[in-house]
Chains A and B, each alone.
Chain A
Amino acid sequence: MLEVRGLVKDYPGVKALRGVDFEVRKGEVHCLLGPNGAGKSTLIKCVSGAVEPSGGEILVHGEPLPPRDPAGALARGVATIYQELDLVEDLDVAHNVFLGHEPRRGPLIDLARMRESSAALLRRLGHEKIDPRLPVRALRPAAQQVVSIARALSYDAQVLIMDEPSAILDSGEIETLFEVVGRLTAEGVGVVYISHRLDEIKRIGDRVTVLADGATAANGIPASTPTEELVRLMVGRKVEQLYPERPRGGGEVLLEVRDLKRLPAVRGASLDVRAGEILGIGGLVGSGRSELLRLICGIDRREAGEVRVAGERLAPNRPDRAIAAGLGLAPEDRKSQGLLLDWDLTKNVTIADLGRFSRGLLNVGQERVAAREQLRSLQTVPDNPDRHARLLSGGNQQKVVLSRWLLRECRVLLLDEPTRGVDVATKAEIYRIVVGLANSGIGVLAVSSELGELAGICTRVLVMREGELVAEVDGARATEQELLAHAVAPTAGPDLIEEVA
């Protein structure tokens, strides 16, 4: 149905795609794999008409696709769901599904027909429980994704491209997603599925195409190909060991959190982080983990409770004081919260520690040298301190944020989804860095949705559920299954509609 032949895309100074071949058949799930920067996003953008390829061809049902014409791609049945869902949160479900092509009666929107058609599409996806009149804001991420898929179907999509659809979902929600994908392929829709999680590919994929350095490393091989082989194709070598030896911990208490509360997300949480340990917090998306980290740092105002760093009580709502006391946060969304994307790496690294370079005036040269040293020590690529943060891949952007806190010599590092959107090889590197930091005496508090990685590197793991810490598991004995069992409420079914408090 969709055929890509010898696709080339040049950006000034960068060859993003150098001859990619790729095809999607009717009713299959075709997985697209590749490390960060391999060209997956560029390929999708070419196919969806967002950017114009420099060479090669894209055929839909044998017909060439008009370049740089997103509407044309949609009209030919090629729809894309990006990682950041592009829904308008304040509009209701029906408006979102038909955004931009609302059914009309005369000059007016035909509301009744729009709601009816939306309901029919949701029924087709097995989600008739989602009310087309609800605002999208009231839906959980998995349900929002279903709405996005319904939107794609409203264009009569025959090829559906999904860019890391599982990244924002927790384990239960991923099941929902897989079921929807199953329904689509049964109807004959071809699905392009992009993910960094190799286990998912095994579960729902039919065939796999691997991209590496802008070229096709493997074209349409069966999804049953052994994992080691897939990793080898992706990174060009073997990743020997994903998880380094976990730190032992057991130092003095650096961070004390007592009864921290901000309703509705965090309902009273207490924990201690010791020097030299990695304390993990697992749980489902929406269980309040990120909010807890933000409260600890004073980014949001706490309603009750206290935070102490090395015995010193932190003022509420003052992240600058928290940082002065020795905290550092690598936030979940690096692009919107971690980095100043239009700044060079130097400024991104030194922003939290300018006092070090300032004696009235800033010593810009010294600043640059210090930043470069930190970036090099973490093997950031590129480590040129004059490059702009926007140009780096996700994993390397994470290293820039880590460099910032290393320079600052923070005592407690808070990591929120440290490896989200990062490929396997870089993940292994980040684990190594974080474990190294803990071994050097820093206390690390890490939040992750990938329960496997918590079980892999943490000294201890706490599990958060509905705003409370409900279990503590020794890292060495933790398994993904056990953590998941704590994370899901014993009784609650998969209710996708949040109660609006």
Chain B
Amino acid sequence: MSSVGALKNRLGALEFQEYALGLVVIALFVAGSILRPETFPTWDNVRNMLTQASIIGVLAVGMTFVIATSGIDLSVGSMVAAAGVFGGILVDPSGSTLLFVLGAVGFAVLLGTINATAITFGRVVPFIATLAMFSIARGLALLLNDKLPVGLLDLNGGSFGEPAPFSLLWFGTGKVLGIPVSVWIFLGIVIGGWILLNRTRFGRYVVAVGGNREAARIAGVPVRKVIFSVYVLSGLMAGIATVLLCARLGSASPVSGNLYELDAIGAVVIGGTSLAGGRATMVGTFLGVLTFALIFSLMTQLDLSTEIQQVTKGAIVLGAVLLQRPEARY
């Protein structure tokens, strides 16, 4: 009987959070359109925002699964850098886009698998295991090519402006039906992530493990397998994000991806997925990614410095976490 009231509030708050976030996205867009009517509500700007959001967005989809099990992956930003450089030296001086993609994605999956192994078999807490990988992967990114970036401009006839289809640059700057390829990929992954989370046995198990590991185990959920899988999945998403990033920049830099994990975690959390596990929403994550993208586009256009943007980002994440747990306030 005790927590009926609190619970109702919380259930209400969950749906409320998704609706509210939708409204926030709309409100931000309207605000931007009023403040910068010439530049903000333009197709160019929207396309730009979505393109920028797609990289963090892909990471956030993987992160949603990790956080749903009440875990965390701090290493995704470093994995992006390491996977990019690894793929880069594979195709330097000559190679194909396919080789780069396979190399980068494969390397990120390998790193994710190391995380997964440490966490499930080594019983290292996720925070520490992925913090270690945060450092290891960044170190590898710097070691692999002597701290130098690798140029990837001309893979399969890519060039800025009009990249040939399936050249590497095409994934970053090419368009299909007027929409950037990277945005298509992002949307596809969000939809795939939604289905995986809400319409498969695996997704159900993920949330069960995060909600109550002991109860899940007693109900026959293969807990270890599930936890292992989410970190491999997070590595896979880091690999895809690597491809999108390198394709946009035309190079793989060992210092790229810095603090991407924070953006991804922030988007997931403001979306309403519970850091304590047991509650996950892919729609929320998508809206969270959009919210961040809008806020930074708006702040950039208002000529606010990146330092202010950083402070804002942190404040939003803190606020979202506070909102998430109304019953814990005392």
Contacts and interface: CB of A to CB of B under 8 A. Distances in A.
B215 A51 contact: no
A11 B5 contact: yes
B211 A12 contact: no
A42 B201 contact: no
Given A351-B208, A355-B201, A362-B201, A404 B278 contact: no
B221 interface: yes
B26 interface: no
Contacts of A361: 195, 199-200
Interface residues of A, number: 43
Contacts of A362: 199-201, 204
A42 B5 CA distance: 12
A12 B8 contact: yes
Contacts of B221: 320, 351
Nearest to A17: B1
Given A355-B201, A388-B7, A388-B11, A340 B1 contact: no
B199 A391 contact: no
A388 B4 CA distance: 10
A12 B217 contact: no
Contacts of B218: 297, 299, 319, 329, 331, 337-338
B138 interface: no
B214 A323 contact: no
A319 B211 CA distance: 18
Nearest to B278: A342
Given A42-B1, A362-B200, A320 B220 contact: yes
Interface in A310-333: 319-320, 322-324, 329, 331
A364 B3 CA distance: 28
Interface in B1-35: 1-5, 7-8, 11
Interface string A15-46: 01000000000000000000001010110010
A342 B279 contact: yes
A178 interface: no
Given A320-B220, A320-B221, A343-B211, A11 B279 contact: no
A343 B277 CA distance: 12
A248 interface: no
B279 A299 contact: no
A323 B222 CA distance: 11
A481 interface: no
B279 A39 contact: no
A354 B201 contact: yes
A331 B214 CA distance: 10
A50 B3 CA distance: 11
Nearest to B279: A342
A117 to B, nearest CB: 28
A297 B1 CA distance: 32
Interface in B228-286: 278-279
Interface string B203-218: 0110010011011111
A347 interface: yes
Interface string B176-217: 000000000000000000010001110011001001101111
B212 A340 contact: yes
Q: Which of B1, B8, B216, B222 is packed against the most chain A CB atoms within 10 Å?
A: B1
Nearest to A36: B1
Nearest to A338: B215
B219 interface: yes
Interface of A: 11-14, 16, 37, 39, 41-42, 45, 50-51, 297, 299, 319-320, 322-324, 329, 331, 336-343, 347, 351-352, 354-355, 358, 360-362, 364, 388, 390-391, 404
17 contacts: A13-B4, A37-B1, A50-B2, A323-B219, A324-B220, A329-B218, A339-B215, A340-B211, A342-B211, A354-B201, A358-B201, A361-B195, A362-B199, A362-B201, A362-B204, A388-B7, A391-B7
Given A11-B4, A329-B218, A361-B195, 20 more contacts: A14-B4, A16-B1, A39-B1, A42-B1, A322-B220, A331-B218, A337-B218, A338-B215, A340-B208, A340-B216, A342-B278, A351-B216, A351-B219, A352-B219, A352-B220, A354-B201, A355-B201, A361-B199, A388-B7, A391-B4
